[in-house]
Structure 1
Amino acid sequence: MTSAWVGELVRLRGVEPEDWESFQRFDANTGDMRRADRVHPPRSGARQREWAQKTALGTPENDTMMLGVESLAEAALVGMLATDAVDYRAGRFTYGISIGTDHKGRGYATEAVRLLLNFMFGERRFHKCEASVWGFNEASIALHRKLGFTEEGRLRDHEFFAGRHHDVVLFGMTAAEFAARHPYPREI
């Protein structure tokens, strides 16, 4: 039997308490923090441990989840993936992914997003996934285009960090668009 959460390169899994050190390393890289969200003040090891413990013991609610992205080759946490803004009435959700700088360019993000969308569209019946990408993040823009997302708009000078305002590029993909490019597994 295979798992819907395991691909050829990565496994999506819950956050574990011992992941705190990996998350602290990710947070030490300002570029990683900006690409994932924004720059936060440094957390102590105790605070990072507490966050990892709380996240590990939390129960996903309303299809909002935070998952670790683990490299199968290294058996190491290489990033995280989260769903948010779930709207059951409209059948849509948003997601975000961040892969640590040391692990970029290996196909981890591509496979992790495919696994997530396969679950959200194929098991949870969502109709549409939306994503927001910083306008300067060419790698993420390329990832979304490669996966089949459609650029739906650009919010000009929408976010402020690093001393200036930045555009946000909006992407969307429907379940039918995903299935046409990435057929669901045949195994039952």
Structure 2
Amino acid sequence: MGSMWTGEKVRLRGVEPEDWEGFRDLAQDTVDNRNADLITPPRSAESFRSWTAERAGRAPGGEAFRLVVEGLADRAFAGSVTVGETDGRAGRFRTGIEIARDHRRKGYAAEATRLVLTYMFAEQRHNKCEVEVYAFNEASLALHLGLGFVEEGRLRQHEFFAGSYHDVVLLGITADEHWATHPRPSVR
């Protein structure tokens, strides 16, 4: 029996309370945080424990959700993938991915993103996924372009941090573009 949440390298699973250390470790690298979002002041271990416990108690799915990316080889916390800003009327959603440094360059981000795209397109009837990537984040741009996302625009000097303004690249992929290079899930 197969699971649409398991690929060849990773398994996507719900957040568990014990994942707090993995989320804390993801948040401690300033460069990684800047690549994905804005830098915030340091948080306490208790803050991560309570934040993770609250997310572990949420029902899965819905308008927005976060899943843990777990490496199949070692069953270790490797990062997380999120779905948010869903628009059921228009059939759009946004996704994001973060992989811990010691799990990078193994194909985890690509496989986790493909699994989420397959779920959202095949099970939730969405037609388009959008992502925003800072223009200087070459690794994320390469990841998404390699998955078939298309650059749709650029918000010039859109975010301010590290003493200057930075562009944000808008990328998107439609369900048809995804299915052109990936198999649909089986009903058997």
Q: Which bin holds the TM-score, normalised by the shorter protein? A: over 0.9
Give how far 1:87 is off.
0.5
Determine if contact 1:35/1:98 at 8 Å carries over to the other structure: no
Which ranges of structure 2 fall in alignment gaps of 5 or more residues?
A: none
Comparing 54-63 and 21-30, the one that deviates more: 54-63
SS of the equivalent of 1:69 reads: strand
With normalisation by structure 1, the TM-score equals 0.96
Q: Which residue of 1 aligns with 2:37?
A: 37
CA distance in 2, matches of 1:104, 1:61: 26
SS of the equivalent of 2:180 reads: helix
Any residues of structure 2 matched to 1:106-125 within 5 Å, and which?
106-125=106-125
With normalisation by structure 2, the TM-score equals 0.96
Determine if contact 1:159/1:168 at 8 Å carries over to the other structure: yes
Q: Which residue of 2 aligns with 1:85?
A: 85
Determine if contact 2:159/2:167 at 8 Å carries over to the other structure: yes
CA distance in 1, matches of 2:185, 2:91: 22
Amino acid at match of 1:136: F
Any residues of structure 2 matched to 1:131-170 within 5 Å, and which?
131-170=131-170
Give how far 1:60 is off.
4.1
Any residues of structure 2 matched to 1:54-93 within 5 Å, and which?
54-60=54-60, 62-93=62-93
Determine if contact 2:14/2:60 at 8 Å carries over to the other structure: no
Which ranges of structure 1 fall in alignment gaps of 5 or more residues?
A: none
Determine if contact 1:11/1:72 at 8 Å carries over to the other structure: yes
Q: Which residue of 2 aligns with 1:25?
A: 25
Give how far 1:142 is off.
0.6
User: Could you report, residue by residue, the CA deviation over 1:49-106 in whole angstroms, capped at 9, with x for unpaired residues?
Assistant: 0001001001246331111111111211111111111101101001111111222111
CA distance in 2, matches of 1:34, 1:14: 25
Give how far 1:148 is off.
0.4
Determine if contact 1:83/1:94 at 8 Å carries over to the other structure: yes
User: Could you report, residue by residue, the CA deviation over 1:124-175 in whole angstroms, capped at 9, with x for unpaired residues?
Assistant: 1101000000100111111111100110001111111111111100001110
CA distance in 1, matches of 2:143, 2:128: 17
Amino acid at match of 1:182: H
Q: Which runs of at least 4 in structure 1 moved beyond 6 Å after TM superposition?
A: none
Q: Which residue of 2 aligns with 1:173?
A: 173
SS of the equivalent of 1:181 reads: coil
Give how far 1:41 is off.
1.1
Determine if contact 2:129/2:174 at 8 Å carries over to the other structure: yes
Give how far 1:35 is off.
2.2
Question: How much identity, in percent, do the aligned residues show?
Answer: 54
Give how far 1:22 is off.
1.1
* Aligned length, in residue pairs: 188
Determine if contact 1:32/1:100 at 8 Å carries over to the other structure: no
